[in-house]
Amino acid sequence: MEVIIQPTDETAAAFVATIVAHDLRANPHLVLGLATGKTMERVYRCLVRMHKEEKLDFSLCSTFNLDEYVGLSPSDPHSYRHYMDHHLFRHVNVDLRNTHLPNGLADDLEKECTRYEALIQRFGGIDLQLLGIGKAGHIGFNEPLSALRSRTRVKALTPTTLKQNAPSFGGEERVPRRAITMGVGTILESRRCLLLATGESKAEVIAKAVEGPITSMISATTLQLHPRCTVIVDESAAGQLKEKDYYRWIFANEPEWEEYR
């Protein structure tokens, strides 16, 4: 795991977008894993700008989102399909046929989860997975006690997550109780992971995820097992990390990061 501390939420998001753009230019057929949420909105704004101003080309890439609410149709303004259309897909030249999210309306949800896993495999697996982190440490909707080897499945959302997502639904009671999410095992199989966290409200959970022991109580800690995971934080989200000087030293000295400094 590597930790990169950026001065602000804007520069942290821009950093993530720059890595995505770099990987996409290196491999136009990139299979990109996507996340939703407030934190990612800035990343998608940067990618849209790069598409418009720097001709970043999405035409050959494929995307797989981490999760979708159970019971919401793609046209529902609260669905993650709608979020992706609104923040990214409709502003860039991605082929919509190559954009994938779990179907939260499927009659047989278990079958839908199996289908989604198989589809990821059919596309050769995820090359680059974007991740946010919930206040309780979830990645995707892998709530506390998610098995370290879990695959795509239906999860009940915890009270912390319901509270976190309530503002966009106009009240906690309106947030769907369940979601389909890629599993921890699915996420760990992606070739590269980028976790972005910004703001003071994420400082405690980031410190646990990066410097704490691996535990299924905090799914993000399992990223310590991933061979190529980069955590990008702004100064506020880095606030409770103990080894900040070490992370800065690595970033300043590691040749891989030369073009990003």
* Least distance in angstroms from the C-beta of 102 to ligand F6R: 11
CA–CA dist 96, 112 (Å, integer): 19
H helices then E strands: how many in the chain? 8, 10
Binding window for ligand F6R (CB under 6 A); candidates: 99-107, 130-138, 241-249, 251-259 = 130-138
- Hey, which residues between 49 and 78 contact ligand F6R (CB under 6 A)? 66-67
Measured from the CB atom, is 159 or 255 closer to ligand F6R?
A: 159
Q: What minimum distance in Å lies between the beta carbon of 41 and ligand F6R?
A: 8
66-94 burial, b if ≥16 CB within 10 A, otherwise e? Answer: bbbbbebeeeeeebbbbbbbebbbebbeb
Candidates 33, 37, 176, 183: give the one binding ligand F6R (CB under 6 A). Answer: 37
Burial class (CB in 10 A: 0-12, 13-18, 19+), 10: middle
Contact flag: residue 143 with ligand F6R (CB under 6 A):
no
* 53/66 Cα distance (integer angstroms): 28
Choose one: 4-12, 32-40, 111-119, 224-232; the region binding ligand F6R (CB under 6 A): 32-40
Give the nearest distance from C-beta 259 to ligand F6R in angstroms.
27
User: DSSP class of residue 106?
Assistant: -
CB of residue 224 to ligand F6R, shortest distance in Å: 17
Burial category of 16 from C-beta neighbours within 10 Å (exposed 0-12, middle 13-18, buried 19 and up): buried
**Number of residues counted as binding ligand F6R (CB under 6 A):** 13
Amino acid at 156: A
Partners of 63 in the β-ladder:
32, 99
Q: Does 208 bind ligand F6R (CB under 6 A)?
A: no
Q: Which amino acid is at 165?
A: N
Write down the least CB distance from residue 20 to ligand F6R, Å: 15
The single residue among 20, 33, 39, 205 that binds ligand F6R, judged by CB under 6 A, is 39
The residue range among 50-58, 132-140, 186-194, 248-256 that interacts with ligand F6R, by the rule CB under 6 A, is: 132-140
The residues, any chain, with a CB within 8 Å of residue 245's CB and separated by 6 or more, are none
Nearer to ligand F6R, 134 or 183 (CB): 134
Question: Where do contacts with ligand F6R occur on this chain (CB under 6 A)?
Answer: 35-39, 66-67, 132-134, 138-140
